[in-house]
Structure 1
């Protein structure tokens, strides 16, 4: 199942191998600003525009054109619509936080999510690598319990574009994929 990774531009530049792996596995890339400044929505329109444009430029070498933008910590501002309006981009946000603190609080992650998740939720999970190898195993176990729990609740994981009716990203013809690829239509939303 393809999932959407809302990537930070600076991290994409630092770890191009991860972006290549995400795309090679058929997943999607959205824009999550260049630096992940949690207060970017409180800054000027020019600064906000630079953050979004720099993130777009950071993933452009991979042939990716993010259409979906997820703001840091889910905060928006009236300036955001103005910035995105001319770019063909739109805002997508989560409806359920995992409460993982960027993967600092992993224990009982599945239980916390499953207690609140509902049909049509867009679940936010972080892809930040936990601090030590034991935490990585714990995180993988929590994700496995989450997936089983969702099945038990009869919730189905859907590609984000199917849930919201919009593509998350497009591809530049001839870059990183066959020229006829066009827009790709497939985060962990549920129905």
Structure 2
């Protein structure tokens, strides 16, 4: 059976589950506590038709290799393998949260997105740089679908690769933050990291 690598890394916005196939990074999941992690891995396994293989988080993580068993039991008896497919995503995300990286240079597996959603997400990834924002309607115009702002919102909600495909940079035309799958506080934190919003005082 095919397999995909996964791990959970610590970040300024909480634990992130990362998953990658041979094609590239395929999923980033916010707030990856045990319950969220297990549910996400079940969905990924079903959608990808592949077996999840845990790897050690390594650099940029709050969890040291060996702290968690491969089966999730936490007794440390089975040390996860070193990352191969996820080594570079782990490194680049650590650099991003440390303020040392503005652009991700990663192969992406788009198999969890299709049609209009994929078209919009690809435009977002390539056309809305670090430290800038775009309106839902403006993004619809960019892909030749004026008036499809609501559909753009749906595409952002379906984004399987948040942070790397920066749906946090899509906001309402009136200046409102709009929605966000990771929660509005997470969106504020990411925009503050990029200098779009002021950093909180405490």
Whether these two folds match at TM > 0.5 is no
TM-score norm. by structure 2 comes to 0.27
Kindly indicate which of the two structures has a greater share of residues assigned to helix.
Answer: 1
**Greater RCO, 1 or 2 (C-alpha within 8 Å, sep 6+):** 1
TM-score normalised by the chain length of structure 1: 0.28
